[in-house]
Every structure is written in structure tokens, then in C-alpha cells.
């Protein structure tokens, strides 16, 4: 290989990764392909090409296999190879790949997560963590494996099974802080009789899980002042986005004017019309429907009675998605340009307004009859959205607020007497924008299909 060809390949590699960083995946793919042609044995270029084509929505399993041949058993390549196989409808091959690697590396946590997700979204609600059980018993002193097994069961709210995992883990590991905090989580979220005793006995433990348990338990018990005392100091830390939503609930229950300062529902919840024709929206709907292939929503998602897509839909290659991304980002810039003045203490208004708008997540939700989203927030975002693509006819939707998005309604399981700030009726072509710290969920509707794109924007970054 000539020195000039090697230099050209290295230059293409650097430029391709820079384009990926800026989320220009279409241009990045071209450079990765050119770089791989120049340097066919360059593992970084091979992996970059496979990953970029996968995220663009192209078939990429064979490209991941090629990358894996250059770096055998690289865990990220193997995991993403499996994800690509799943996206191509090759679930059996993905399962074989994951299981074969896990047989050799039973402590591979990302592999366990991918396999548990595949099992769950394929409809296996009982044995979806069997591989983790086997791994824990093969490596009984591997704490991360026990915590992963517990975590999957806890996400499924399988409280009895989760407790049994902790009992078994403790027999091998002893009463570790992680196990004690996990028991606290189960007690609080299952509303067990010993929840307060668990709170008292784990007061010395810090960390997001322990803090959120204390906050949620205090709110359930009608003690918003305790929830505020726990949450407020944590809004200055790295996990602040987890705590602002609970601080909002505490302040509202205390009739504290800071709730209005934080949420500003009349100013910060806005709607826009994208200006697309019925034909354009119908074309977009056809594109999105083809992406809804899972039998069940992901275990950690807020969807009930519907499905959610994988990968970031607004970073895909399909022309309809590329076009709507450009239009939606223009509307987001309009929203940002109309924000109230800078406020250094506010989670939204303290951020700079100029720069590139990074998409930190984007997905489509397709709800069927009686489907809805439970109230939730988006800790990875700065601004969040819902863009309505296709909806039932009004007579099939049901009486308002059926099908509406509701802002400010707390999680039902907390049992709080707080009404939504407002609801917004869905309308095809309408974009709703709101702070990522705002509680939001959707109201069940009678029958039909409710198809949306949702996406989060991070704080503006330098171009």
C-alpha cells in the first residue's frame, strides 16, 4: 500500500468521524465508504461504515460481520452486529450470535442487555432473563451480573422475582450497599409495608437511585417538604435533569411560586404547524409504519398499547425523514428564538441559544386503540417534542381529551392530587414543543391509530 493511499485513508477517517459527530450521517457514510476502499483492513473505518449505515436505516449486518473479521470478538461490534440482524428481521441469527458470545463471555453486560431486550420485544415476558440467571449462577461472585438481572426484573415490575434475585445475590456476595439500595427500590416502588423502615435504614447511602426513592416515597406519603429538601440540592449536580421534575411536583403541592418559575406552562409549551400537505404527511406515515416491527414496546419505555421504533428516526436516510427533520429543526429554532430572557438558575433558560441543535434521541410511537404513554420526562434532553403524523378520525378518537398530550400530570403511581397544566389536542402536522423536565403523557383514545414522531434536542453546541 502506498504512503499516499494510507494518508488519504487516514484523512477520510478523520473527516468521516467529524461528520458523524455533527450528525451528518449521509455525508459521513460516503467518506467511510471511500476510506474503507482505500484502507480495506482498517477496523475503525469498517466499524464506522457499518455503524453509520445501520443508523441511517440501511442493511448493515454483513458490514458488521466484515468489521468483526478485522477485530474478532470486539464487544461493541458484536452487539451492534446483533442489533443490525434484528433490524433486518434476522432475529434467530441475532439470538445465536448473542448466545454464542455469552457462552464464552458470561460477564458481557451489554450482550445480556441486548438479548433480554430481544426476548422481551419478541413477546417473552417470563423467561426473558433466563440467560442472566445462568450467568449469575456460573459466576456467583460477579456483582454486576446480579444487578443486571435484578434491574431487568425491576423494570418489568416483577417485584417478587426481583426480591428473590437479591436474596440469592446476598447469599453469595453478602449485604452489599448495592443490594441494600436495590431492596429499598423494590420496597418503595411496590409500596411495601416496610418502605419507610427501608428509607430509615439506608439514609447513609447517596446516589440517584437512593435519592429518587426517598423523593418518590416522600411524595407518596404527602410530605412534599421532604421531597423538596432531598431534590433541591441535587439540581446543581450532574444528574440535575432527574430532579427538576420532582421539584416541580413538590413546589406545586406546597403552593410555592417557584413551580411557575420552573414550568411556565403558558410560555414554554407551544405548538407549531409544519406546513406539510396531506399527501406529504401520508407519505411520511407510510415510511414510519414500515419501521414498527417489534411485537412489544421496549421494557424501559413509556408506551402502553403500542410500539416504539429503534434507532433515531430523524437520522435515517429515507427522503421523507430527511425532509421532515429539516423542517422540524427550523421550527425548533423558531421556538428557541422566542424563549423568555436568559435566567442563570433555570434548567432551560440558562443555556446558550446559538449553535447547532443536536438530536439526542428521536423515535416514532404508534399507538392502537386505548393506547397511551404514562407520564414521564426526558432526562437526556433539553427540549422535547411530539409531532403528529397520522390520527384517527375525530369520531373514532373519542370525547376530548381522548388522545391529547397532557402536561404536568404526575405519575399515577404517586397518587398526587395534581391536575395537568393543560392538554393539547393532536392534529396531523402539528408540533408540540416543551421543556424536557416537564411531566407529560397521553390520554387513551377509543380506536384507530395514533402515529407520532418524538424527539429530544440537547443544548445548542458550537457548529
Average pLDDT over residues 365-387: 96
Question: What pLDDT was estimated at residue 371?
Answer: 92
Question: What pLDDT was estimated at residue 68?
Answer: 97
One-character DSSP codes across 67-94: HHHHSTT-HHHHHHHHHHHHHTT-HHHH
Question: What pLDDT was estimated at residue 345?
Answer: 97
Site of grid cell 410530605: 223
∠ CA 271-391-447, rounded to 5°: 130
Q: Is the pLDDT of residue 49 over 50?
A: yes
Question: What pLDDT was estimated at residue 6?
Answer: 56
Segment 274-310, tens digit of pLDDT:
999 999 999 999 999 999 987 777 888 788 989 999 8
Question: What pLDDT was estimated at residue 299?
Answer: 83
Cβ burial of 123 (10 Å; 0-12, 13-18, 19+) is exposed
Nearest to 457 by CA among 336, 344, 361: 361
Segment 148-160, tens digit of pLDDT:
999 999 999 999 9
Average pLDDT over residues 80-84: 98
Provide, rounded to the nearest whole percent, the portion of the chain with pLDDT above 70. Answer: 98
Nine-digit cell string for 347: 434548567
Domain boundaries, the chain: 265-457
Nearest to 389 by CA among 423, 366, 359: 366
Distance between CA atoms of 82 and 64, rounded to whole angstroms? 9
User: Can you name the residues that pair with 145 across neighbouring β-strands?
Assistant: none
Question: What pLDDT was estimated at residue 301?
Answer: 79
Average pLDDT over residues 47-68: 98
Question: What pLDDT was estimated at residue 3?
Answer: 47
Q: Is the pLDDT of residue 4 over 70?
A: no
Nine-digit cell string for 152: 431487568
Average pLDDT over residues 62-91: 97
Of 2.40.100.10, 3.40.50.300, 2.60.120.620, 2.40.30.10, the CATH number of 265-457 is: 2.60.120.620
Question: What pLDDT was estimated at residue 271?
Answer: 98
pLDDT band at 5 (very low <50, low <70, confident <90, very high): low
Q: Is the pLDDT of residue 7 over 80?
A: no
Distance between CA atoms of 62 and 69, rounded to whole angstroms? 11
Q: Tell me how crowded residue 322 is: count the other CB atoms within 10 A of its CB.
A: 14
Q: Is the pLDDT of residue 181 over 70?
A: yes
Q: What is the mean pLDDT of the chain?
A: 95
Average pLDDT over residues 350-362: 96
Nine-digit cell string for 303: 408506551
Predicted TM-score (pTM) of this structure: 0.94
Amino acid at each position: 500500500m502506498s504512503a499516499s493511499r494510507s494518508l488519504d485513508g487516514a484523512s477520510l477517517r478523520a473527516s468521516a468521524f467529524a461528520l458523524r459527530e455533527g450528525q451528518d450521517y449521509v455525508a459521513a457514510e460516503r467518506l467511510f465508504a471511500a476510506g474503507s476502499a482505500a484502507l480495506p483492513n482498517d477496523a475503525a473505518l469498517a466499524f464506522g461504515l457499518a455503524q453509520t449505515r445501520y443508523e441511517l436505516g440501511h442493511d448493515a449486518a454483513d458490514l458488521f460481520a466484515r468489521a468483526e473479521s478485522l477485530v474478532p470478538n470486539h464487544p461493541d461490534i458484536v452487539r451492534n452486529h446483533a442489533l443490525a440482524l434484528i433490524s433486518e428481521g434476522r432475529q434467530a441469527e441475532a439470538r445465536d450470535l448473542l448466545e454464542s458470545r455469552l457462552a464464552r463471555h458470561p460477564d458481557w453486560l451489554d450482550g445480556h442487555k441486548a438479548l433480554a431486550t430481544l426476548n422481551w420485544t419478541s413477546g417473552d415476558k417470563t423467561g426473558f432473563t433466563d440467560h442472566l440467571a445462568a450467568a449469575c449462577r456460573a459466576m456467583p461472585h460477579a456483582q454486576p451480573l446480579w444487578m443486571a438481572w435484578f434491574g431487568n426484573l425491576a423494570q418489568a415490575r416483577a417485584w417478587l422475582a426481583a426480591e428473590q434475585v437479591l436474596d440469592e445475590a446476598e447469599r453469595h456476595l453478602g449485604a452489599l450497599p448495592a443490594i441494600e439500595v436495590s431492596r429499598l427500590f423494590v420496597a418503595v416502588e411496590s409500596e411495601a409495608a416496610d418502605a419507610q423502615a427501608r428509607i430509615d435504614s439506608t439514609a447513609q447511602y447517596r446516589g440517584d437511585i437512593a435519592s429518587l426513592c426517598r423523593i418518590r416515597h416522600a411524595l407518596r406519603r404527602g410530605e412534599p417538604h421532604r421531597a423538596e429538601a432531598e431534590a433541591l440540592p441535587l439540581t446543581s449536580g450532574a444528574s440535575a435533569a432527574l430532579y427538576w421534575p420532582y421539584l416541580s411536583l413538590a413546589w406545586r403541592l406546597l403552593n410555592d411560586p417557584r413551580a411557575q418559575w420552573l414550568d411556565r406552562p403558558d410560555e414554554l409549551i407551544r405548538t407549531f404547524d409544519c406546513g406539510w400537505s396531506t399527501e406529504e404527511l401520508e407519505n411520511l406515515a407510510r415510511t414510519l409504519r414500515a419501521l414498527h416491527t417489534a411485537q412489544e414496546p421496549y421494557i424501559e419505555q413509556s408506551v402502553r398499547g403500542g410500539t416504539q421504533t429503534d434507532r433515531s428516526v430523524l437520522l435515517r436516510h429515507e427522503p421523507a425523514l430527511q425532509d421532515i427533520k429539516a423542517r422540524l429543526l427550523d421550527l425548533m429554532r423558531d421556538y428557541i428564538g422566542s424563549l423568555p430572557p436568559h435566567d442563570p438558575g433555570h434548567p432551560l433558560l440558562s443555556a446558550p441559544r446559538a449553535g447547532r441543535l443536536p438530536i439526542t434521541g428521536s423515535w416514532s410511537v404508534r399507538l392502537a386503540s386505548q393506547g397511551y404513554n404514562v407520564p414521564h420526562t426526558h432526562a437526556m434532553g433539553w427540549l422535547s417534542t411530539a409531532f403528529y403524523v397520522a390520527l384517527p378520525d375525530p369520531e373514532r378518537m373519542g370525547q376530548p381529551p381522548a388522545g391529547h398530550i397532557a402536561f404536568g400530570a404526575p405519575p399515577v403511581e404517586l397518587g398526587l392530587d395534581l391536575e395537568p397544566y393543560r392538554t393539547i389536542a393532536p392534529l396531523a402536522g402539528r408540533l408540540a414543543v416543551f421543556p424536557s423536565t416537564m411531566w407529560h403523557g397521553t390520554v387513551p383514545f377509543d380506536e384507530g391509530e395514533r402515529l407520532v414522531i418524538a424527539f429530544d434536542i440537547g443544548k445548542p453546541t458550537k457548529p
